[in-house]
Chains A and B, each alone.
Chain A
Amino acid sequence: MAYDAAALRSQFPMLSRAVDGKPIFYLDSANTSQKPLAVIDAMDRFVREQYAPISRSSYRLADEASRAYEAARARVAAFIGADRPEEVVFTKNATEALNLVAQSWGRANLGPGDAIVLTHMEHHANIVPWQMLAAEKGFEIRWLPLTSGYELDLEVLPALLRGAKAFSFTAMSNVLGTITPVAELVAAAHRAGAIAIVDGCQSVPHMPTNVREWNADFLAFSSHKMCGPTGVGVLWGRHELLEAMPPFLGGGGMIQDVRLDGFTCAEVPAKFEAGTPPIVEVIGLGAAVDFLDGLGMTNVRRHEMDLTRYALDALHERHGDSITVHGPVNPEIRGATFSFAFGGVHPHDISQILDEHNVYVRAGHHCAKPLMRIIGANATARASLYVYSTRNDVDALVDALDHVGDIF
């Protein structure tokens, strides 16, 4: 059956919202995605009919809630091709997942004389946790630069990785849309004796993910960008690494035993889930995974690649030299996220004018200030598409950009 994004829209209540009596064009899905009824209803149903504490109380309802929570973990694990559900740790968001790796694995393994490698296209969430730790531990952070085609410069990677203990990189840039060759990057890291940490925030919602095929060591991603609720993120980690790591946050749920003179940790993943977790949100994430599985991630990727081709053509055809899209031109190696400069107009002014036409894009530095400096932009406007986006959305953007010239 052909993928039908237009039909899918009826399952996303927010998309039928009107502003000023007119339809909206939500082009900010790289920021956060809209939610389908399947997710909204699953959370609503759980709260109304099944809500109880998990992993603490022993009555039947609590056991039922615990099973639902663990079933969601198993579904998430299967969705990313993990060997076992216990390798999936639920966090507050992807940012916390990356902080967990830095503060737990990093704190135990990095010190003076050590080095890690990051790339120039990282989100602040994959930069600042390492800088915080480096300031304390005194290890070196090395940076993998970009090519002029907005891809990672693989030629210099082996030299940078020499002697490094970790390579942490994005699977898809939230600014450029660049999809990185994850399996190749993981292999390069392993050849150098480094572990590979993948930031999958922008890739997991948009294409098939298989950590086993990647052979990665860690993967961080968020629920809210993949049709799920806010308040929950995921850290997947190789079981033996998670087992060897010290705990991150301390408290209830993460211990085996506590005595006046110390504590022992619970098994993975409980060791990393201190305190009552976002139970309802995890149920919602499980429903989101089912929803995306139903669409088929290969179909989602194909749909977005078609839209990417259409959008790049439409933007350039109408606006020619007025528009510069920062990112690869080949839809095969990029996602449907378009950061652009337009006619010398500041992105804030662009988004203000687009807003007047109910076209919603993000303007700013997209939490990637080092990258913005490198591409020579202080800010960009960014339109980003998802499972429910159609050519209508692209056309609305292309048309609304005409009005920018009316004022500036």
Chain B
Amino acid sequence: MPGLEDLYREVILDHYRSPRNKGELPPPATCTEGTNPLCGDEIRLFLNVTDGVVRDVRFSGHGCSISQSSASMMTAAVKGKPVADVRALVHRFKEMMSIEESAEESPAPVGSMGDMEALRGVVKYPVRIKCAVLGWNTLLEALGGDS
């Protein structure tokens, strides 16, 4: 189906069918909920941060292929990373989704996002951008908001 193959890349469908880091974490991991009021998608993000590093991350909830695969890729990308790098990654992802201006001093190099590059096609379907960023916004909230 021409057109839709840009949206439903194989990598996206793979993360949708076999989500990475799906599940829950017991306390002291934090649990943050995010929802997309338009479609009712819900995500719960479990985050374990110690010494400024994301030690472990899991997500649960339900949503469409875009929100689920994006959350799956996100967890894979941030696990083991320093919080500062995670924040930068969130911003780069939002830049890729065209919802944040790219900061001049740190332009996002093309091809540096790994699997997540596959989500670039979402930009062509503006109503789906909210699906793609649901997990990322929840992560940002879990980290105590923007700073």
Contact = CB atoms under 8 A, between A and B. Distances in A.
A408 interface: yes
A348 B64 contact: yes
B128 A406 contact: no
B40 A352 contact: no
Interface residues of B, number: 20
Contacts of A365: 39-40
A378 B68 CA distance: 14
B82 interface: no
A406 B1 contact: yes
Interface in B57-110: 62-66, 68
A364 B3 contact: no
A1 interface: no
B40 A346 contact: no
Interface string A94-114: 000000000000000000000
A353 interface: yes
A408 B41 CA distance: 19
Contacts of A363: 39
Contacts of B68: 346
A156 interface: no
A348 B125 CA distance: 12
A407 B64 contact: no
A379 B40 contact: yes
Given A346-B63, A348-B131, A407 B40 contact: no
Interface of B: 1, 3-4, 7-8, 13, 38-42, 62-66, 68, 125, 128, 131
- CB-based closest 4 A-B pairs: A348-B64, A346-B64, A365-B40, A364-B39
Given A365-B39, A408-B13, 5 more contacts: A346-B68, A349-B66, A363-B39, A406-B1, A407-B4
11 contacts: A346-B63, A348-B39, A348-B66, A348-B128, A349-B8, A349-B66, A353-B4, A363-B39, A365-B40, A378-B40, A408-B65
